[in-house]
Chains A and B, each alone.
Chain A
Amino acid sequence: MKNRILNVFRHRALVQALVARELKARYRSSILGFLWSFLNPLLLMGVYATVFTIFLRFGMPNYASFLLTGLLPWIWFSTSVNEATVSVVSGGNLIKKVMFPAEVLPLVCVLTNLIHYLLSLIILIPFLVLYGSPPPEKVLELTPDMLVSSNPVWLFLSFAILVVIQLIFTYGIGLALSALTVHLRDIQHIVLNLMTLWFFASPIIYPAMQLNSKQVPSALKSLAIDFNPIAYLVIAHHKIFILRIAPSPVELGAMLIGSLIVLFIGYSIFEKFRDSFDEEV
């Protein structure tokens, strides 16, 4: 395992080059080019804001801020996973013809979308300032320790750690799915639909406490909140960007350990199938 991580590190020039290739190629023939990295989340947010402030109301002031805060990390996650799932299959040419570390392919997907995510934050932060945040009690059930804003340095630091956690988690899932898809192409379609379900099952378009209603069975509620890694990630984003409260070190530590376990499992699956890639892609 340790050698393998070193192996990926040794290929950082390759990872860097491939991420740059993806970024450059994506908007190459469009007139606005790289601006689309900003425009896409902005327009998507416009769509969601229209839907949820006009057609479906949640009765939350400044709802768009709440939505955008959870939506952006979700887009990073879901796009990365969808792309990573097919990355090994579509990178077949490289795997068959060049001595190529296949684990780089899903990593490139995750990193490319990380860049897009970080760029979209440039939209989010001024938006939150200009548009205003929803009242904290509408976003989360408040506990006394949440009433004081965190020190900005720690806030920023905890956000950086959060990004690392999500990176590890997403890469772990991407590794497992990309390897399995090589042998069973059906997985890419299953994943696509499961991601939609996952999206609605996570507290992104609604606050977590919405599930407190009696109509929601408590088993389902705990599945959506307590056993849903995305819920932890999204809620941590809500805390940082809307409540300006850094998640506690215990919280972050637990999430980090969880994501490392996912990476380990994902890597083990990838490793198990690795030798068959060049035959199957």
Chain B
Amino acid sequence: MQAAIELRQVSKSYRRFARLRQFKTLKGAAVRDLWRRPAMPESEKFNVALKDISLSIEPGKTAGIIGLNASGKSTLLRVIAGITKPTRGTVEVDGKISTLLEIGAGFHPEISGRENVYINGAILGLSKSEIQSKFDEIVKFAELEDFIDFPVKTYSSGMFMRLGFSVAVNVDPDILLIDEVLAVGDAVFAQKCYDRIFDYKRREKTIVIVSHDLGAVQRLCDEVAWLHRGELMQYGETKKVIGNYLQEVTEGELKRYAQQHEKSVEKMSALEAPKDVSEEELPYMIGPAQNSPDPAERWGTREIEITSVAMRNEKGEERYVFSCGDTVFVEIGFVAHKRIEQPVFGVGIFRTDGVWCYGTNTMIDKKSIESVEGEGHIIIKFDSLPLLSASYYLDVAAHAENDHPYDYLNRLFTFAVRSDRPDMGIFRPDHKWILEL
């Protein structure tokens, strides 16, 4: 079967400077030979966006393109669309293409939605009569029946996006290219967009989607191409490729979070709080103010001083990236500079956007500690940490039962949870579905 999209050894490199603008001014261009500045080495003149990519997408398949930022995903899409010419290699496309790289490209704010539909349709390659026959459907899909004759500048951004999406999906192409624009409008409209894309799938159209939303890719795509720094790492069955991608990303993240933890430890000792403040001056404890996600803070009298914080997995290895549901140990090392009666140790988990996900301490959990003196460790074990995919802050604290603060470390330590399931919210309560008929 002939492929709908066939790339053969496609490479693309961008000049870092425009041909003429290598020289900042006209004068620079004119005196180049007099000045004889050393020529830039060839390797520095170019940014390589795509390296030797061969890929064949069969008609009727939905393919996803995933990868980190700057991995060449959008460039690949533009090469397929014919917007960008590859530096080397060939691209063959069989069928009429419609692109959704940017919603509402070509919309003019001063003229009405109706006129913009005609122009946008023409830009996407429709003839006037084709647009005429689809016009009602486009407006209905965008839910803009009452507003279609107002200038587009009066539209809300949601209305603008809806209209742009509606025109693009009503072009009825053989091949639809979508770049990270699936989530438009409210939840209801987003669902309509998904429905429309599923409808395309059913009608055996070829679709290529670039997205960071792995959940969406998993739902929509039959095959996935994983790009890393311009190279095609893998192309194949969705689940397999996403699995490998996540593993690679997680390994990179493991390193990153471990490094970050080391920095946090250094910072912890650098954060000096005045040790002899009167209690009235100290902020009210238990947890830090919820609206101050940053910067890292440390305060307290340091009668008990926290000396180390580590997170470990069930094997006891230090880890700062976990999967949803992993067993997690948080180990707090401390020194009590004198004998302290009835200390309380606490931990708090905050999502980096400030949402307080969980907080507890030894007092709440009725695990009273008679006294501490000298060095020690206290460990809290989460048999299963059911947080969903996100980055989190780990706050730790030692204080007295009457909230008198010994040592508070807020917004200093970070960890991440990665999950390959696209469920939504903050945490995943243990659950199962029961169907009764």
Contacts and interface: CB of A to CB of B under 8 A. Distances in A.
Interface of A: 13-14, 16-18, 20-21, 24-25, 28-29, 93-100, 182-184, 186, 275-276, 278-280
A12 to B, nearest CB: 9
A25 B111 contact: yes
A24 B111 contact: yes
Contacts of A96: 78, 83, 101-102
Contact of B19 (A14, A18, A25, A276): A276
Given A94-B105, A98-B106, A98-B124, A275 B85 contact: yes
29 contacts: A13-B127, A13-B128, A14-B123, A16-B122, A17-B118, A17-B122, A17-B128, A18-B122, A20-B115, A24-B115, A25-B108, A28-B110, A29-B110, A94-B106, A94-B123, A95-B83, A96-B78, A96-B83, A96-B101, A97-B99, A98-B99, A98-B106, A99-B83, A182-B18, A183-B20, A184-B21, A186-B25, A275-B85, A278-B78
Contacts of B128: 13, 16-17
Interface string B63-96: 0000000000000001001111100000000000
A99 B85 contact: no
Contact of B18 (A17, A183, A275): A183
Interface residues of B, number: 34
A24 B109 CA distance: 11
Contacts of A16: 122, 128
B7 interface: no
Contacts of B18: 182-184, 276, 280
What's the dominant secondary structure at chain A's contact region? helix
B15 interface: yes
B83 A278 contact: yes
Contacts, number: 86
A96 B108 CA distance: 17
| Most interface-central of A95, A97, A275, A279 (chain B CB within 10 A) | A97
Contacts of B105: 93-94, 97-98
B57 interface: no
Nearest to A14: B122
Contact of B83 (A21, A98, A183): A98
Given A98-B99, A186-B25, 11 more contacts: A14-B125, A16-B122, A25-B110, A28-B110, A96-B78, A98-B106, A99-B97, A99-B125, A100-B123, A278-B78, A278-B83
B287 interface: no
Closest CB pairs A-B (n = 5): A17-B122, A97-B102, A25-B110, A14-B122, A183-B20
Interface string B123-141: 1111110000000000000
B115 A21 contact: yes
Contacts of B125: 14, 99
A91 to B, nearest CB: 9
B437 interface: no
| Most interface-central of A21, A276, A280 (chain B CB within 10 A) | A21
B101 A21 contact: no
Contacts of B127: 13
Contacts of A98: 83, 99, 101-102, 105-106, 123-124
A34 to B, nearest CB: 13
Contacts of B124: 98
B400 interface: no
A90 to B, nearest CB: 12
A217 B25 CA distance: 35
A279 B17 CA distance: 10
